[in-house]
């Protein structure tokens, strides 16, 4: 069996849903952002501030290359699908689910959060542009697109658990 990756824009629910999905599937859960923070002993804003975004992107790829071979659920960072190497690493080691949410929902969730350096340095218009730029990359990376609009965390989690159960033999 392989890994289950959750991908999508900031605030699409990867971390929140990954955690819940771990309970219903009984698979261990890892949040890439948290794992990188642990490896470096710094928060994401500190990593961006001290080493820059390019360094953080290297650490993301390093994580995907080296993370233990275990059946598990991984909530990725919002920018992970932008690199071709990352997309290939994910697709070849598991099932990739893209959590799609409309930008207005995303904005409501992330606009006041201080833990996302990209939100801190960008305007609403810039974040919407980035959302549109990233969309085709998420679609390329994903095996499945999951619509989250008007669905509770619980509903999205149940849907994913159902799909994972159905596809278990393949992963
Ligand atoms: N479908 C949903 N219904 C209600 N709240 C949601 C839904 N999806 C996400 N949220 C809420 O939005 C907030 C942001 O979600 P979360 O932190 O899981 O995003 P993320 O995709 O992990 O973002 P990042 O890429 O920045 O790590 C959380 O408070 C979460 O509970
Ligand atoms: O969308 C992004 O580029 C990011 C999302 C977060 O998960 C973190 O990985 C970081 O804040 C960058
Ligand atoms: Mg997250």
The predicted-structure confidence for 112-169, as pLDDT tens digits, reads as follows: 988 999 999 999 999 999 999 999 999 999 999 999 999 999 999 999 999 999 887 6
- 14, 7 Cβ separation under 8 angstroms: yes
Nearest Cα to 125, choosing from 150, 151, 103, 109?
103
Pocket of ligand 2 (CB under 6 A): 10, 33, 44, 77-79, 116-118
- 76, 35 Cβ separation under 8 angstroms: no
Half-sphere exposure at residue 169, Cβ-oriented, CA atoms within 13 angstroms: 1
In angstroms, the CA 165 to CA 32 distance is: 23
For the chain, which residues make up each domain, given as ranges?
A: 3-166
Q: Is the per-residue pLDDT at 68 higher than 80?
A: yes
In angstroms, the CA 152 to CA 169 distance is: 28
Whole-number Å distance, alpha carbon 142 to ligand 2 midpoint, is 18
Question: In this predicted complex, what is the ipTM?
Answer: 0.98
List phi, psi (to 5°) of 24: -75, -25
Write down the pLDDT at residue 168: 78
pTM > 0.90 = yes
The residue whose CA is least distant from atom 1 of ligand 2 is 78
Whole-number Å distance, alpha carbon 77 to ligand 3 midpoint, is 6
Strands ordered across the beta sheet of 3-7? 29-31, 73-75, 3-7, 94-100, 144-147
3-166 CATH, one of 3.90.1150.10, 3.40.50.720, 3.40.50.300, 3.30.160.20: 3.40.50.300
Mean pLDDT confidence for 93-116:
96
* Tokens (6 digits) for 86: 């990352």
The residue whose CA is least distant from atom 11 of ligand 2 is 116
Q: Is the per-residue pLDDT at 20 higher than 80?
A: yes
Q: Which atom of ligand 1 is nearest to the CA of 110?
A: 14
């Amino acid at each position: 069996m392989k890994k289950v990756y959750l991908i999508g824009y900031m605030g699409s629910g990867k971390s929140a849903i990954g955690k819940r999905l771990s309970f219903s599937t009984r698979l261990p859960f890892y949040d890439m952002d948290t794992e990188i923070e642990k490896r470096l002993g710094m928060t994401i804003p500190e990593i961006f501030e001290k080493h820059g975004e390019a360094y953080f992107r290297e650490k993301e790829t390093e994580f995907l290359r080296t993370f233990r071979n275990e059946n598990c659920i991984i909530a990725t960072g919002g920018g992970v699908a932008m690199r071709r190497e990352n997309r290939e690493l994910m697709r070849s080691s598991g099932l990739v689910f893209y959590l799609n949410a409309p930008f207005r929902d995303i904005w409501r969730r992330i606009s006041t959060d201080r833990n996302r350096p990209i939100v801190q340095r960008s305007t609403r218009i810039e974040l919407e542009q980035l959302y549109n730029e990233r969309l085709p990359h998420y679609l390329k990376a994903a095996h499945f697109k999951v619509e989250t609009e008007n669905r509770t965390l619980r509903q999205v989690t149940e849907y994913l658990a159902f799909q994972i159960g159905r596809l278990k033999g393949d992963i």
